[in-house]
Amino acid sequence: MPLTIVRRKATGALTISGTIRLTSGARIRIQQRARSDNPQLAAEEARILEAEILRTDWHGGERRGSKSFAAAVLAYFEAKPRTDATRSPPCQSVRRISASRILASSAASWGLSLRARC
């Protein structure tokens, strides 16, 4: 059954609701507030949410490119000990990107420090 958009009586907010059946036979119940009060945008959000859940179920794991550059650099450093020569190129990129503060904020949300590794 596809996800539907329902307007809540009490608040007038749009809600995405429905059940998605997975290949294992399990069902996932979805009921969440849409990010928009525009019914067309909420319907698009519901389709994207359903597609993401089904794609993950069919192919397993997260989709490529769903992790940030900060997560990739952290995974690289945590995978095995690195020498100074192999540490230099990613750290230079981190320094360049961190000027925009995006990298630092995403690493901070995980409670990790890239500066300690670079």
Report whether 19 contacts 1 (CB < 8 A).
Answer: yes
For residue 85, give the amino acid letter.
A
Tens digits of per-residue pLDDT, 6-55?
999 999 999 999 999 998 888 999 999 999 999 999 999 999 999 989 98
Strand pairing partners for 39? none
Q: Where are the domains of the chain?
A: 4-59, 69-109
For residue 18, give the amino acid letter.
G
How many CB atoms within 10 Å of residue 118? 16
For residue 26, give the amino acid letter.
A
Report whether 73 contacts 94 (CB < 8 A).
Answer: yes
Rounded Cα distance, 25 and 46, in Å: 21
| Report field, pTM of the whole predicted structure over 0.75 | no
